[in-house]
Amino acid sequence: MPGYSEFYFNVDHGYLEGLVRGFKGGILTSADYVNLAQCETLEDLKLHLQTTDYGNFLANETGPLTVSTIDEKLKTKLLTEFHYFRNHAFEPLATFLNFVTYSYMIDNVILLITGTLHQRPIAELVPKCHPLGSFEQMEAVSIASNPTELFNAILVDTPLAAFFQDCLSENDLDEMNIEIMRNKLYKSYLEAFYKFCEKQGGTTAEIMRPILEFEADRRAFIITINSFGTELSKDDREKLYPTCGKLYPEGLHLLANAEDYEQVKCVAEYYAEYKAVFEGVGSGTGEKTLEDAFFEHEVKLNVLAFNNQFHFGVFYAYVKLKEQECRNIVWIAECISQRHRTKINNYIPIF
Amino acid sequence: MGSLFRSEEVCLAQLFLQSASAYSCISELGERGLLEFRDLNPKVSPFQRRFVGEVRRCEEMEKTFSECRGLTLGGFSGDRPARPLTLRVQEQSEQLAQELREVSRNHASLRGRLRDLRQCLHVLREGQRFTSQPMTFGAAVQPRGGLPIPALLLCLCSFVAGVIHPWRVTAFERLLWRACRGYLVASFVEMPEPMEDPVTGESITWVIFLISYWGEQIGQKIRKISDCFHCQVYTYPESEASRTEAITRLHGQIQELSVTLEETEKYLAEVLDKVAQVLPTWRVQVQKMKAIYLVLNQCSFDVTKKCLIAEVWCPVRDLTQVQEALRQGSVSGSCFVQRVPTSESPPTLIRTNKFTSGFQSIVDAYGVASYQEVNPAPYAIITFPFIFAIMFGDVGHGLLMFLFALWMVLYEDSPRLRQGTNEIWLMFFEGRYLILLMGAFSIYTGFIYNECFSKATAIFPSAWSVATMANHSSWSSAYLATHPSLTLDPNVTGVFQGPYPFGIDPIWSLATNHLNFLNSFKMKMSVVLGIVHMGFGVVLGVFNHVHFQQRHRLVLEFLPEMIFLLALFGYLVFLIFYKWIKFSAAESMVAPSILIHFIDMFLFTSNAENLPLYPGQVPVQMVLVVLALASVPVLLLGTPLYQWCRQGAPRTVRPGAVGGSMGVTRRSHCGCCPGAAAGHGGTGAAHLDFAEIFMHQAIHTIEYCLGCVSNTASYLRLWALSLAHAQLSEVLWTMVMRNGFVGLSYVGGVVLVPVFAAFAVLTVAILLVMEGLSAFLHALRLHWVEFQNKFYVGAGYKLCPFAFAPDTWE
């Protein structure tokens, strides 16, 4: 029954939606960021974070404060909140929340495989994984030597198996193949997620559509830009583009034929919002990078999700916004600890 | 007691604290809890303030304490923390924490080692059971994997053994199977005893696994996988003999380790004891210290940087005490306090004791009194329980309530009552004196209504004589048999012998027109009491006008308000009493209706059927109505016009003259028209916004005039609720308790027990708690709305002194 979600939504998901909106109130405001950016030391930062919704999440840290402990604690907090959502969720929200974690799972798998390829010990790699995307068999990923083995032995039990169909090949795992695999996984994941949201219909689809479309297009742009100067052929490149974005199909064709950054920019010119994003990018130091510009646009889209009620988009948006907040705090903390204050204001304010 | 009538005089003062003795001064002041500190650097963020380092050190210590905390018990009685002490405390606490940390780390590692050894032992034992069986019996093994393995093969293969978390078993098994394509045999057995999980500390029944495999390649893979699943892998000796040897060796090691562990535990307990002894006092000291530094952070420095300046709100009465505290706190006696003039409205301070605090909090719940405004709380001490009791009048119920409150009052020092965590209970407990008075007044009104659990009591003989009536009208037995109800006529001499000495005559409870009689009485009583209550509220306004030097409001506000109220509703009260006195039982047939008269009064007509109460009634009433109506425009325009004139005149001559002259007198504070305060207190710059004043006055006038009508009606709730209470208790008696009086046999006695139980429970639940709450709420409303809006502004804020109160530290 799409379209009438307001009548029955609250029966199953009302509590969690209320909760997530409450949590959203705790997201740092730009005033908080201004204060954070004034901090002289990490202790100051901690002191200020104590006055926000984070409370004394660092209070039990003995020993000197480092950026990595802050990062870890921030992620643990997000993880606790997310697990609370997940444990109290009914279908289809439960599946939706699962979908949110899949992207982190993909990143973790790829991270581990790349790490093993470079002969790094697994114990060193695991802490670098995003806790939202950890799963039971995750650490076993390192024993696989090619994608088929990876799939057959390890990933077949995980929810990622469904996205893996396109990646099955006997090729050895080298850096190029891993990157291709990541993008293929991501493509299948995004398309599946998009389809899932469309199936939900109603406001959920309405809200998630632009967010996922943007996500897909962002990947297409980034794949294109990153593939310049590599041996990836144009056909192969086109196969990696997620097809659920606004660029599909014409834009993707154009992107596939692009040869340098200027041409990518030309493609973006045809689409109003991406044109704005590319125009915001500066080339000099201290100016916005393309990545930041994309992040900024993402934040804008995610904030919009809170304008509607009775849909799942708020959960996705909350996780993403919180993740951005973690990135911001870590950025500021890094700048403080490295005494690199000139770039401290390059965070992306949310509210 | 004087301060209960209006809030105490509070002044803004500056404390000049020499930097050396600032800390001890603030500490002294905190112990006494006299002053409210004002933040002088509100724009400075918390981590840029001056004493942030000290605050952080306190937090550091608190962190150490919370680390040490665990086994602390007992009360808190912290001494005043002297500054040199802090260093010592910090040093000692860190030392202790360090020691504790080390010991517990040792302890943990020993325990971990012991766990390891025991797990290893279990693995070997279970493994032996598994591998040695086929050797002895020569039969095929049936492991969990489901493959029968020829026993001989077992000799050729190698083993990986270890323990795994029970949740991961299935995934582990599946992955092993997939990754190694079945070139292995895995068996899983639960460990016979549960052991601690090193990560979470929970007790878990671990699962022992033994994997036998062929080939080195697969062995490596298996090891890798078991690593990924956080398994504890133990070396598994290949031969039977070495396994037995390992087991005996492990036994020895375990025993040794147990002894060491015991020693460590003993030492740990000692250290913990030491910590538990000193920790509570330290904690209080550090918390006090942190509070002091937080206050110091609110101070600013003077130009020479030698002296801290704090701004405080200080009750004028306590200035000497503050001086005293400063003298004690400072070394050289160079700290002092100085009053500074201010145009801000000071906070409200009303000192209460345990008796008055309940009533004060009722008033504060509506709004904290504006500075030096008349405080309605002392009057509420009597009026509140009384108005409650009018609605709750019943001797029995009142007595129960009184005894309950008396129990709380008598045992108020008992810690069990005090430290309840139940919020509802604490609310009752806080209001115990209120409940006590409510109960006492209910007993009083209960006697007046002559009701005890809805039954009338005949303390005095009834004033009505049935015998006289019977003799007079010579009722025959046949007449009595056919007429279920008889009429007692008060006009017959001897039947009614004058009023009952106190309250309602008990004979009324037998009468069929009982309700009619009581309704008329209670309705009139409610109106009379309501108008008296409201009139009292208007009179209290006089004290505000006089205190704030606004004598013009006496004439322009109090007078018209009083005339309006008395001319209309005061006259109604007069009529009620007049009729009661004037018309006796004999003339009751011709007594006129007050209601009709009152309506006619407004319509300026007279009704021929309704006899006049007294000669010349119509002109008197006309005059009264005209007076009342004439007072409305005075009320509406008086104050604004007066202020306009006052302000207009001097402004043309010499701006600032008003401000100057008013500055000398007491700072005026007028809540009804906030613009007025600004107009008086400000200098020439602050101009009077006439429109705004006029708006406020218009609102006030409309509210007052309509309010007089609606509030009078509102007091009728006294009648309604007392009626409801009486009826409900009567229903309870007739429907429940009377069923217990069925027979006079022993059966009746047995029936009475459950019936009384039901009656008692329902009485407490419905009549005492539910009805009591509703009567309380209505009494509250009558005070907040009907009474207080006649004079009370309640726009102030409370003085919260900086104090080391014990309850804030828990």
Report the gap between the CA of A128 and the closest CA in chain B (Å).
15
What SS3 string covers B703-735? Answer: HHHHHHHHHHHHCHHHHHHHHHHHHHHHHHHHH
pLDDT for res B138: 40
Report the gap between the CA of A15 and the closest CA in chain B (Å).
26
Contact A139 B228 (CB under 8 A): yes
pLDDT for res B661: 37
- Whether residue B43 has pLDDT greater than 50: yes
Task: Give the one of B47, B178, B229 whose C-beta lies nearest to A47's C-beta.
Answer: B47
- Whether residue B683 has pLDDT greater than 50: no
- Whether residue B84 has pLDDT greater than 70: no
Q: Chains A and B: how many Cβ contacts under 8 Å? A: 55
Report the gap between the CA of B235 and the closest CA in chain A (Å).
21
Give the model's confidence band at B324: pLDDT under 50 very low, under 70 low, under 90 confident, else very high: confident
What SS3 string covers A236-289? Answer: HHHHHCCCCCCCCCHHHHHHHHCCCHHHHHHHHHCCHHHHHHHHCCCCCCCCCC
Give the model's confidence band at B781: pLDDT under 50 very low, under 70 low, under 90 confident, else very high: very high
Cβ(A274)–Cβ(A224) below 8 Å: no
Residue B761 vs residue B809, higher pLDDT: B761
Whether the CB of B66 is below 8 Å from some CB of chain A: the reply is yes
**Residue B560 belongs to what H/E stretch?**
helix B559-565
pLDDT for res B674: 40
Distance CA B438, CA B719 (A): 17
* Chain A environment of B168 (Cβ under 8 Å): 136
- Find the residue in A nearest to B44 (Cα): A35
Contact A38 B45 (CB under 8 A): yes
What SS3 string covers B590-620? Answer: HCCCHHHHHHHHHHCCCCCCCCCCCCCHHHH
Average pLDDT (A6-22) is 88
Whether the CB of A156 is below 8 Å from some CB of chain B: the reply is yes
pLDDT for res B680: 42
- Whether residue B514 has pLDDT greater than 60: yes
Mean pLDDT of chain B: 80
Task: Give the one of A44, A47, A140 whose C-beta lies nearest to B225's C-beta.
Answer: A140
pLDDT for res A204: 87
% of residues, chain B, pLDDT over 70: 87
Closest CA to B367 of B799, B798, B800, B794: B794
Distance CA B196, CA B203 (A): 4
pLDDT for res A181: 85
Exposure class string for A78-115: b at 16+ Cβ within 10 A, else e: beebbeebbeebeebbeebbebbbbbbbbbbbbbbbbb
Which residues in chain B (191-230) have CB-CB distances under 8 A to chain A? 221, 224-225, 227-229
ipTM: 0.71
Contact B175 A137 (CB under 8 A): yes
Mean pLDDT of chain A: 85
pLDDT in tens, A193-222: 999 999 888 888 888 999 999 999 999 888
- Whether residue B642 has pLDDT greater than 70: yes
* Chain B environment of A154 (Cβ under 8 Å): 175, 178-179
Contact B175 A38 (CB under 8 A): no
- Whether residue B81 has pLDDT greater than 60: no
Task: Give the one of B46, B48, B228 whose C-beta lies nearest to A140's C-beta.
Answer: B228
pLDDT in tens, B413-432: 887 777 777 888 888 888 89
Q: Find where tokens 């009338």 sit.
A: B456
Contact B175 A44 (CB under 8 A): no
pLDDT in tens, A286-340: 667 888 888 989 999 999 999 988 889 999 999 999 999 999 999 999 988 888 8
* Chain A environment of B65 (Cβ under 8 Å): none
Contact B46 A60 (CB under 8 A): no
pLDDT in tens, B694-750: 898 999 999 999 989 999 999 999 999 999 999 999 999 988 888 878 767 787 788
Task: Give the one of B47, B67, B175 whose C-beta lies nearest to A140's C-beta.
Answer: B175
* Chain B environment of A51 (Cβ under 8 Å): 46
pLDDT for res B82: 55
Distance CA B215, CA B444 (A): 100
Q: Name residues whose C-beta falls within 8 Å of residue B661's C-beta, 6 or more positions apart in sequence.
A: none
Cβ(B640)–Cβ(B690) below 8 Å: yes
Radius of gyration of chain B (CA): 43
Distance CA B579, CA B573 (A): 10
Distance CA A180, CA A223 (A): 10
Interface test with A, best of B227, B228, B231 (most A CBs within 10 A): B228
CA atoms within 13 A on the CB side of A8: 6
Q: Find where tokens 């207190």 sit.
A: B681
pLDDT for res B677: 40
pLDDT for res B491: 79
